[in-house]
Structure formats: structure tokens, C-alpha cells
Amino acid sequence: MIPPCYPTRSFRSFVAAPGWPRWQLAAVVALLIPLFGSPAQAQGPTSPASSVAPVSKGRLTGRVVNEKTGLPVEFATVALLDEAGSKTLDGTVCDDQGRFGLAKITAGRYRVVVSFVGFQPRTVTGVVVAANEAVVALDLIKLTPTVQQLGEVKVTGERELVENKVDRLVYNAEKDITNSGGTASDVLQKVPLLTVDLTGNLQLRGSSNIRVLVNGKPSAMMASNLAEALKQIPADQIKSVEVITSPSAKYDAEGSAGIVNIILKKNNLEGLNGSENSAVGTRGSFHSLTLNSRRGPLGLNANVGANLFYNVARNDSRRTDFLPEGQQSVLEQRGDFTNLGGGGYGQLGLDYDLTPRDALNLSVRGNVFGYTNARSQFTRFSLPTAPVDEYNRDIDTHNGSQNLDVNFGYVRTLPRPRQELSFLALYTVNTGDTDYNLAQQRWTDGRDYVDYRENSFNDNRNRETTFQADYVQPLDSTQTVEVGLKTILRNVSSDYRVEADSLDGRSFVLVPSRSNNFRYDQNVYASYLSYGFALGKTLTFKVGGRLEHTRIDGDFRSDNTTLRTNYTNLVPSLQAAWDVTKDQKLKLSYTRRIQRPSIYYLNPYLNTSNPRNIVVGNPTLAAELTDAYELGFNTYVRKSSFTFSAYSRQTNNAIEAVARTVAARDIMPTADSTQLLFTTFQNVARNATYGLSVSGSTKLTPKWTLSGNVNYYYVRVQSPALSLSNDGTMHNANITSAWQFDKGWSAQFTGLFNSRRIQLQGRSSGYRSYNVAVKKELFQKKGSLTLAVINPFNRQLVFRNDLATDRFAYTDNSYFLNRNLRLSFSYQFGKLDNRPARPKKSIRNDDQKEGGGNG
């Protein structure tokens, strides 16, 4: 099969520009060239001479290979020119075996120019097509790779810090020097549309209903506790972050606000190379080593690393309970705590090209993580009819987790352009344990004594096994059908127990009423159908539907309580794009999303380290259903790009945290009637969001770049069942200014601004943060040294949370030391040859409501 040709040099230069993966080159050529017509049509009306000239049916064929490896150079650009002139007469691209063909060539003398990114162009001269020749077969064309030492490569077309693509927004984290030495949490703070609060909770346009992927792959580590998981990924390992606000039917139906995909750094280069990254700072440090090796069809990559973090904070809170007959009780608490933790990780990946059409990839990633929280907390509780109760608790909490992800993929490229079949499998497991021990002291007659001790243990596990098959069938150059099947088998469990000090003071005994063993199975069976097509040259559409069936089976093994349910959802999606001009695009999308609760929301473990404030999961939660609409407009003006988006989301059974005051004995049968604040999660709210976001990037001078994002939205949350409602406007913004100086120096400033947040029962405060960094390139650009100051103007950040009902008013203030001085060093080594990358596919489980981040 002869690939389609394209008519002009400018278009050929466009698709051969650096940064285009090979499969995108083929897709662009196959999709867009027919819209411009044949080469003859593109050249406009013919002259009288040409209109009468005889047209030969001669064909020109050939094959292009890598001179060093002998492997085919897939999708290389082939241009046909006059022998003496510079005018391009015809052109095409090679298929996945390096073959090309040009048809209907007029008899004459020509030259052929072959080029591809990472190779030196090759010109074949003296090509003669005779009038009576049917086929002219050229000799094997060998392209020589561009061999350069790492650090000597000169990049002429750098990506912007923020890119707005047709279906997603991309933040190129590797271009942001203030990220050096940080973690994924630091990176996500700077991504347009995203916010990360002080406890590490992630939101997209004000919603926490997000699915977070790593290299397009799900991870049980992310589902168990997102805030902690983000601390385990060093910022220097992150290449970019993709934000997908309107996923198509191909994606899992869950994640009502959208998908966040963290792309880790990797390469497809021949040879042996690697990098070393280290950082030390007042709030933490890390070290990592990465190695990559590729020879012919086999590629291997590995990286290992370790990190350490440290933080000091304090907290104070006040709760007033409104009692009958106008009386009040007041609870006051204050304390301070120290967090010290860290962990290590390792990753090994393999990809192998069985044939030019068959590719295998296998990756294994694991990590261990843990921290210790040492907290001292003073409590004072006063009732109008009882003596004041005062005591202090010393609480040591130990948290540990281990995670393993194994991902396998097989991709078969079929004969037709863009025709593809893939089989994928994923196994991921996360195990964690949270233990604490406390000692409670009181004061009597001028001395203090321990009057109560308690130990608590919670072992939990989250395991997922996934199988997925996808098939892409192009109908013609403008129409594509995608179908697929997917099965996700989830098993989560939580074994928790509490031991209290015995009466003799020398041992601990189990408290059965506060101990249990919870198991929860969630199986999802899905299929999807998607159809993409174009109308004319400027309108493109993608419509699809996804059918998902969910089965849930849970039980409390200790008391034989069971939970059984199942439901089926049809999820439609629609995306349309209109190229108003070559520099302006209008996009419209609609999708329905499902948000299934993850283990964070389901786990019924009762943490009573603070007996006056208890948070517990709800295993009976149902999935949320959200309708999402978005209208976007992209425009490019000279050296500037801007994106405007209007959006709305409507959820009628939203999961919200609901707090109420209850007697302690209603939660713990062995307790007394003391009032405590009990928080759990319920499907009780109707949540509506309407917003507008604006983002842009510009080059003020050749060495000065400015980019920013503003997101402004209105939220209304109401619960008829609880007779509660709340509403208000919110906003978040970030701005980045970067300068390039001579002799390898550069600097960058980043500002982050987040307004207060609206909740069903109250509001939480916003915050501001500033980062400044200076970078110096070393060793002929193979290494770099970066000095960053985080929050130079604020010694600490304050996070305030206010809740209010007709039964209580509660205010909580947390103060985190946040000013941080960080010095980081990186070094790249190895000799590399460029090698075109085969597209790798992996499973995307996008379907769970993430949780976590209790500080």
C-alpha cells in the first residue's frame, strides 16, 4: 500500500518538526492530506503547457533504513524535486517498514531527498523515470544517525512551559527550574487548573474528584492515599503533567472533574546513558540515579532513589456546642507536631520490538515509604454544669506503605495506516499500616500522672488486576472507529484493632467494639465504542459511549455484616472542534462521569487518637454521577498563546464530608456521654459548579517568557436531606516568569494564589506561595546547579477551616513552617544516538475518587 502524498514543502516541514512522535506523523498525514486534495490540486490551475503534457504512469519506490542498525526508519519524509531546481514536485512518508512509493510521475530526471528527525538528510541524485518505465526501484537508502554527546545537543524549538492541545493541557515540568529538588506535590501546585492545599489534597477546578495516573498507568499507591503518594515522586523525575478535563469514551468513566497524568522522564535513544540528581534543603532531601540502555530492538531502563522530608507545625482549634436552654459547651485544643519520614523507590522497564509491527513492553515499579508523627496535644473541655476537664496527650503515629506495579503491553500495528490492536494487563498492589500509641496525662495536687494509655493498629491492602483490549479501525482518512473491552478486579481490606491499658497498668487488652476486619471487592466490566470523523477541512467530531457494570461485595468479618450491590451505567461523550483559522480553534465537549469511592472514603477504621474529633469512612457509599460541559477557545498571536474555557459540572448525589456532634457512647459503646465531633462521608449533596479559566504564555523578549493561569468559578452545594446549603465564588491563579541569561545562567519566579474553598458545612481558607530559583549550567551543559527559595516572604502558611451548623461552630487553624532553602545538582552522562520511538500503550484506570491528605 502506497502512503498518501502531501503537496507542499511547508506542510512537509511542519510534520517533520522536532517533537512529533512517529505515529502522530503518520496520523497527521493520513488525516489531513486528503483535505487539501491531490498534489495537482494543491498547485492550483495548470499552465497551458502543462495541461497538454503527457502524463506517465511511472512509479518510484524505495526503502529507508538506519545505516548503523539496519532497522527501518519508520515515517521518514521523502521529497521529489527537479534535478536542477529546488521546487518540490511530490512527497510522501515511509510506512512502518521504511518503504515508500510515489505514483503517476512524469518522465524526466529528478532527485530524491529523505530526512527524519535525528538523522542526517540523504539526497539521491540522477533518478531517471523513462516514459516507458512502469516502476523505478531505488537502491536501499541509508540514513546516518546524528551522533552527539549529551549536553551538546542544541535545541532550536523548545516547548512552551504550558501547551494547550486539542484534548488536554500540558505543563512541561522539566522547563521549570523551581521544581528542582522538590516532589510531585510541588510540581502539581504550578499546573494550570490544579490546586494543592497545605495537607496535600489535589483539586481540579475546585473538585477533588480526579483520577491521577503515572505514565498513563493507574497505581494502587495513588488510590490509598494520594497526598502521601505525591511526596514519593521526585520532581526531577517528572517530564510533564497532562490535564484532561473532557475524557473520551475510551477512558474509564470515573473522575468527574477529569484526569491528571504525570509523565515521568524516559527516552528512546541508542546507547548507554543516565543521570544523577541530588538535593539538600531545610525541609527535605533526595537522591536518584537513572540508567538507560538500548541496542537495536531491545531497550532497558532503570532508576532508583531515596528521599527524606521534615516538617514542624502547630495547631489550635475551638468548638462551641449549642446545648438546650441556651447553654454552651466549649472544647479548646492546641498542640504541636513534627513529621519525619522518607522512603525509597525502584523501577525497571523493558521494551522489545519483536518485528517492525509487533512491540512488547514490561515494567515493574516498587517503593517503600514511611513517616513518624510525634504530637503533643492539650485539651480543655468546659460544661456549664460540670468541672473543667483538662488533659494532655502524647501521641506517636507511625505510617508505612509498600507499593508494587507490574504492567504488560503488546501492540500489533496492522497494515492500514493507524490500524492497531493492543492487549494490556496490569497488576498493582499497595499495603499499608498505620499504628499509634498514646499516653494521657492529668494534673492533681501539683503533679502529673498517666491515667490512660492506648495502642491502635490498622493494616490495609488495595489490590487491582486489570485486563484490557483495544482496536482502532480507520475507515478512511477522516473517519476512525475505536472499540475496546476492559475488566478491573479490585480487592481492598482493612484489619484494625484497638488495645487499651488494662486495669493493672502493665498490659493492654483488645477492645472488641473498636476492632474489626473489613473486606471490599469491587469489579468493573466495561466496553466502549468511539467514532471520530471530519466534515470538510475545519470541523472534527468524536462521539462515543461507554457501558460499565459494577459489582460490589463487602463484609465485616468480625460481626458477619455484609454489603452487596451492583449497578450499570451508560456514559455518553461528545467532542467537537472547529478550526476557525489556522491560529484559532473552538472546542465543545460533553461527557457523563462516574466517581466511585476509593478505600479512603470506604475504610471504617476508627482513629481515636483525638477522642474529641473522629473521622471515619463509610462502606455503604454509592458512586457519584456527574454531567460535565465545556466550551474552549485557543488562539495564537505572534509569540503568544491564549486559552479561554467556560465549563459547568452537575452532580446530584455528591459525596460530601458531613460532621455532627454525637455522644461518644453512640460511636464507642464502652465510652461515656461526652460530646465529640464525628465526621464521615455521605451521598447527600447536589453539587453545581460554573466557571471560567484563562491561561496564556508569551515571550516578552527573546530571553524573557511570561505565562499564567486564572480560574474563577461559582459553587453551590446543597443537601435537602440535611437541610444544609452553601455557595460562593472561588478562584486560583499562578504566574511564572523565566529569564535566560548568558553563560548558562537562568532564573525563574513563580507565584501561586488560592482563594477560600466552599464546603457543605463551612469554608476553608486560601493561601499564597512564592518560589524563586537561579540555575547555572555546568560541564558543557551536562550538569546544572540550582538554588531555590520557597516562600521567602512567608515563614509559615496558615490553613483555616470553619464549620457551622445549628448545633455547633468549629474553627481549626494549622500553621506549617514552609520557608525552604534548597540546593540541587544534576548530571547527565552517556553517548547517545537518536532512535525514533514506537508508541507504547498502557492501561489507564481512571475511575476512582481519590482521597487522603490528613497532614
For 17, other C-beta atoms within 10 Å of its C-beta total: 10
* Whole-number Å distance between alpha carbons of 770 and 752: 6
* Whole-number Å distance between alpha carbons of 233 and 217: 14
* Whole-number Å distance between alpha carbons of 848 and 621: 13
* Whole-number Å distance between alpha carbons of 648 and 593: 13
Q: Choose among 814, 768, 766: nearest CA to 791.
A: 768
Distances, alpha carbon 495 to alpha carbons 402, 598, 605, 774, in Å: 16, 16, 8, 48
Over residues 93-115, the pLDDT tens digits come to 787 678 888 887 888 888 998 98
Higher pLDDT pick, 255 / 178: 178
Residue that the C-alpha cell 478505600 belongs to: 599
* Whole-number Å distance between alpha carbons of 263 and 828: 19
Q: What is the mean pLDDT of residues 656-663?
A: 86
Q: Are 359 and 410 in contact (CB under 8 A)?
A: yes
- pLDDT at 103 (0 to 100): 80
SS3 at position 296 = coil
Q: What is the mean pLDDT of residues 391-414?
A: 91
Q: What is the mean pLDDT of residues 800-814?
A: 90
Higher pLDDT pick, 634 / 849: 634
Q: For 314, how many CA atoms within 13 A lie in the half-sphere containing its CB?
A: 7
* Whole-number Å distance between alpha carbons of 685 and 652: 7
Q: Choose among 167, 243, 841: nearest CA to 541.
A: 167
Asked if the model's pLDDT at residue 843 lies above 80, the reply is: no
- pLDDT at 849 (0 to 100): 58
Q: Are 111 and 130 in contact (CB under 8 A)?
A: no
SS3 at position 51 = helix
Cα 580 versus chain centre, distance:
30
Q: What is the mean pLDDT of residues 246-273?
A: 66
Please give the angle made by the CA atoms of 543, 547 and 548, to the nearest 5 degrees.
140
Asked if the model's pLDDT at residue 157 lies above 60, the reply is: no
* CB-neighbour burial class of residue 421 (10 A; exposed 0-12, middle 13-18, buried 19+): middle
Higher pLDDT pick, 35 / 472: 472
* Whole-number Å distance between alpha carbons of 746 and 777: 9
Determine how β-strand 269-281 pairs with β-strand 258-264. unpaired
Cell numbers of 233, please?
515522586
**pLDDT band at 153, cuts 50/70/90?**
very low
* Whole-number Å distance between alpha carbons of 797 and 799: 7
- pLDDT at 266 (0 to 100): 62
Burial 213-239 (b: 16+ CB within 10 A, else e): bbbbbbbbbbbbbbbbbbbbbbbbbbe
* Whole-number Å distance between alpha carbons of 330 and 320: 5
Over residues 186-239, the pLDDT tens digits come to 777 667 777 665 455 676 765 666 777 777 656 555 554 566 567 667 777 788
Please give the angle made by the CA atoms of 281, 282 and 287, to the nearest 5 degrees.
30
DSSP class of 24: H
Cell numbers of 437, please?
500509641
Q: Spell out the domains of the chain, with CATH numbers in brackets.
A: 9-145 (2.60.40.1120), 269-849 (2.40.170.20)
Determine how β-strand 848-849 pairs with β-strand 584-597. parallel
* Whole-number Å distance between alpha carbons of 376 and 440: 10
- The whole-chain average pLDDT of the chain stands at 79
Asked if the model's pLDDT at residue 469 lies above 80, the reply is: yes
Q: Are 752 and 772 in contact (CB under 8 A)?
A: no
Cell numbers of 438, please?
498514646
Cell numbers of 473, please?
479501525
Of 44-53, 293-302, 363-372, 644-653, give the lowest mean pLDDT range. 44-53
Higher pLDDT pick, 47 / 362: 362
Q: Say which residues have a Cβ less than 8 Å from residue 736's Cβ, sequence separation at least 6.
A: 161, 176, 190, 705, 706, 707, 708, 748, 749, 750, 751
**Which residues are paired to 725 by β-bridges?**
718
* Whole-number Å distance between alpha carbons of 180 and 507: 49
For 50, other C-beta atoms within 10 Å of its C-beta total: 12
Q: Concatenated DSSP letters for 169-185?
A: EEE-GGG-GGGTT-BHH
CA dihedral 67, 69, 74, 77 (to 10 degrees): -10
- pLDDT at 50 (0 to 100): 34
- pLDDT at 603 (0 to 100): 77
The helix (H) or strand (E) run that includes residue 224 is helix 220-224
Q: Are 194 and 187 in contact (CB under 8 A)?
A: no
* Whole-number Å distance between alpha carbons of 252 and 272: 37
CA dihedral 403, 406, 407, 408 (to 10 degrees): 180
Asked if the model's pLDDT at residue 11 lies above 60, the reply is: no
Q: Choose among 214, 262, 259: nearest CA to 848.
A: 259
Q: Choose among 585, 752, 639: nearest CA to 196.
A: 752
Asked if the model's pLDDT at residue 138 lies above 50, the reply is: yes
* Whole-number Å distance between alpha carbons of 206 and 754: 10
Q: Are 304 and 346 in contact (CB under 8 A)?
A: yes
- pLDDT at 4 (0 to 100): 38
- pLDDT at 464 (0 to 100): 92
Determine how β-strand 258-264 pairs with β-strand 238-244. antiparallel
Of 79-88, 405-414, 517-526, 665-674, give the lowest mean pLDDT range. 665-674
Of 211-215, 309-313, 339-343, 426-430, give the lowest mean pLDDT range. 211-215
* CB-neighbour burial class of residue 407 (10 A; exposed 0-12, middle 13-18, buried 19+): buried
- pLDDT at 231 (0 to 100): 63
Q: Say which residues have a Cβ less than 8 Å from residue 222's Cβ, sequence separation at least 6.
A: 212, 213, 214, 229, 850
- pLDDT at 225 (0 to 100): 53
* Whole-number Å distance between alpha carbons of 545 and 542: 10
* Whole-number Å distance between alpha carbons of 523 and 549: 8
Q: What is the mean pLDDT of residues 283-296?
A: 84
Of 57-71, 522-536, 805-819, 840-854, give the lowest mean pLDDT range. 840-854
Over residues 499-514, the pLDDT tens digits come to 988 766 678 888 887 8
* Whole-number Å distance between alpha carbons of 416 and 479: 13
**pLDDT band at 802, cuts 50/70/90?**
very high
Q: Are 790 and 240 in contact (CB under 8 A)?
A: no
Of 132-146, 314-328, 465-479, give the lowest mean pLDDT range. 132-146
Percent of the chain with pLDDT over 70: 79
Q: Concatenated DSSP letters for 74-134?
A: TT-EEEEEESSS--EEEEEE--TTSEEEEEEEPSEEEEEEEE-TTEE-EEEEEEEE-TT-S
